[in-house]
């Protein structure tokens, strides 16, 4: 059984004042039937961990360098994230691919670094609007999956997030059929490459997930949770999304 995952990506948002949101989430998600993760800016990782106390709320980084240490001004290693209390790290987010020119090979190296440090990697991929309109979405995603997921990856250390670039922060979302088509293609490619181990990778959807559309998205086959940006910043928005995922994870009687 794949454990469902509600992951929040705070991006370059949040200061110490945001720890109140962490405390609210920690108190409210203890009974969740899914895993709940917040990826705050690295400046807040340690304090967020402390603020959550013994609650099962997890934290992660938003990026890491491939090297464990060294002369890399401004970068943070996977080992340093783990030391600050991270359990996960997002790699290959489209904002990193666009703003920092990250290639699939670089993303794969970061995912390997995550594994080396004992972190789970959330590997992001997704097509642009131009690529979708040109009928290239599945080809682009297939290429990104092949290039960004390192050899030896397994469901225990790797999560895949399908995030169409045109849906991130725009309020636009793909149709249920479009999400289903991509997630089915991802699953098929994982099975092809990793054999039956391909079933173990969790597949998240990301891009304008909100309280109002979460339940519909979580009802889709092969959607094991979400990577949420804007709607993860406030507990009041993120909690209904966690509740929708918890409901989707309810045992069937
Ligand atoms: P969004 O961002 O939920 O604000 O669209 C998602 C993401 O970039 O992970």
The residue among 150, 80, 147 whose CA lies nearest residue 117 is: 80
Tokens of 148: 């960004």
Determine contact, residues 65/75, Cβ cutoff 8 Å: yes
Residue whose entry in the numeric block shows the structure tokens 């406030």: 234
What number of other Cβ atoms are within 10 A of residue 29's Cβ? Answer: 23
Domains in the chain: ranges and CATH = 5-249 (3.20.20.70)
**By three-state DSSP, how is residue 227 classified?**
strand
Determine contact, residues 160/145, Cβ cutoff 8 Å: yes
In the reported structure, the alpha carbon of residue 72 is separated from the centroid of ligand 1 by a whole-number distance in angstroms of 28
Burial profile 189-215: b = 16 or more Cβ within 10 angstroms, e = fewer: bbeeebeeebeebbbbbbbbbebebbe
Determine contact, residues 59/51, Cβ cutoff 8 Å: no
Nearest residue (CA) to ligand 1, atom 9: 229
Q: What does pTM read for this prediction?
A: 0.97
Confidence at residue 1, expressed as pLDDT on a 0 to 100 scale: 85
> Which residues have a Cβ under 8 Å from the Cβ of 70 and sit 6 or more positions away?
none
- Could you give the CA distance from residue 88 to residue 221 in angstroms, rounded to a whole number? 24
Confidence at residue 252, expressed as pLDDT on a 0 to 100 scale: 54
Confidence at residue 246, expressed as pLDDT on a 0 to 100 scale: 96
C-alpha dihedral (183, 137, 7, 244), degrees to nearest 10: -60
In the reported structure, the alpha carbon of residue 208 is separated from the centroid of ligand 1 by a whole-number distance in angstroms of 6
- CB-based pocket (< 6 A), ligand 1: 9, 163, 168-169, 206-209, 227-231
Query: Mind listing the pLDDT tens digit of every residue in the chain (253 residues)?
Result: 899 999 999 999 999 999 999 999 999 998 999 999 999 999 999 999 999 999 999 999 999 999 999 999 999 999 999 999 999 999 999 999 999 999 999 999 999 999 999 999 999 999 999 999 999 999 999 999 999 999 999 999 999 999 999 999 999 999 999 999 999 999 999 999 999 999 999 999 999 999 999 999 999 999 999 999 999 999 999 999 999 999 999 765 5
């Amino acid at each position: 059984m794949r454990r469902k995952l509600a992951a929040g990506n705070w991006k370059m948002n949040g200061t110490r004042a945001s720890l109140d949101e962490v405390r609210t989430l920690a108190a409210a998600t203890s009974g969740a039937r899914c895993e709940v993760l917040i990826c705050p800016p690295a400046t807040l990782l340690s304090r967020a961990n402390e603020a959550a106390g013994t609650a099962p709320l997890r934290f992660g980084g938003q990026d890491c360098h491939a090297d464990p240490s060294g002369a890399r001004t401004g970068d943070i290693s996977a080992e340093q994230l783990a030391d600050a209390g991270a359990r996960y790290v997002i790699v290959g987010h489209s904002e990193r691919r666009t703003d920092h020119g990250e290639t699939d090979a670089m993303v794969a190296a970061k995912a390997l670094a995550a594994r080396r440090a004992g972190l789970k990697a959330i590997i992001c991929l997704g097509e642009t609007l131009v690529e979708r309109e040109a009928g290239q979405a599945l080809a682009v995603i297939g290429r990104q999956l092949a290039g960004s997921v390192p050899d030896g990856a397994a469901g225990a250390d790797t999560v895949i997030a399908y995030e169409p670039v045109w849906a991130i922060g725009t309020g636009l979302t793909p149709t249920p059929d479009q999400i289903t088509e991509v997630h089915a293609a991802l699953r098929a490619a994982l099975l092809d490459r990793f054999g039956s181990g391909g079933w173990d990778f969790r597949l998240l959807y990301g891009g304008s997930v909100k309280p109002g559309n979460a339940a519909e998205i979580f009802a889709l086959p092969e959607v094991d949770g979400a990577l949420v940006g804007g709607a993860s910043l406030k507990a009041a928005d993120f909690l209904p999304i966690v509740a929708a995922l918890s409901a989707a994870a309810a045992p069937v009687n």
